[in-house]
Structure 1
Amino acid sequence: MKLSTKELVICSIFASLTAILAQISIPIPFTTVPLTMQMFSVMICGILLGPRLGFLSQVIYLSLGLIGIPVFSQMGGGIGVLVGPTGGFLISFPIVSYIVGYFFEKYKNNILLLLSMLIALFISYIIGTFQFSLIAGVSFFKGLLTCVVPFLIVDFIKVGLAYILGKCIRKRINFKNI
Structure 2
Amino acid sequence: MAKTISIKKMAVVSLMTAITCILSPISIPIFITPVPISLGVLAIYLTAYVLEPIEALISVTIFLLLGISGLPVFSGYTGGLGKILGPTGGYIVGFIFTVYISSVFIHLKKGRLWDIIGMVLGLTLCYLPGTIWFSYQQGKGFIAALLLCVVPFLIGDAIKIAISAIIGPEISKRLIKART
Bigger relative contact order, structure 1 or 2 (CA pairs below 8 A, ≥6 apart): 1
**Match of 2:98?**
96
Deviates more, 1:104-113 or 1:131-140: 104-113
The residue type equivalent to 1:88 in the other structure is G
Contact 2:104 2:118 (8 Å CA) reproduced: no
Q: Is the 8 A contact 2:38 2:75 kept in 1?
A: yes
Q: Deviations over 1:49-70 (max 9, x none)?
A: 1201111110000000111111
Quote how far apart the aligned CAs of 1:90 are. 0.8
Unmatched runs of 5 consecutive residues or more in structure 2: none
Structure 1: runs of 5 or more not aligned: none
* Paired position in structure 2 for 1:26: 28
Q: Which residue in 2 is equivalent to 1:71?
A: 73
Map of 2:167 onto structure 1? 165
- Name which of 49, 54, 60 aligns with 1:47: 49
1:57-103 Cα shifts (integer Å, max 9, x gaps)? 10000000111111111111111111111011110112211111111
TM-score, normalisation: structure 1 = 0.93
Q: Which amino acid aligns with 2:102?
A: V
Range 91-100 or range 54-63, more displaced:
91-100
The residue aligned with 1:118 is 120
Check conservation: 1:55, 1:98, Cα contact below 8 A: yes
Backbone CA RMSD of aligned residues: 1.7
After TM superposition, the score normalised by the length of structure 2 is: 0.92
What's 1:135 paired with?
137
Across the two proteins, how many residue pairs are aligned to each other?
178
Supply the AA of the counterpart residue of 1:149: V
CA displacement at 1:10 relative to structure 2: 2.0
Distance 1:66 1:117, change over 3 A: same
Q: Secondary structure at the match of 2:107?
A: helix
Helix, strand or coil for the counterpart of 1:75?
coil
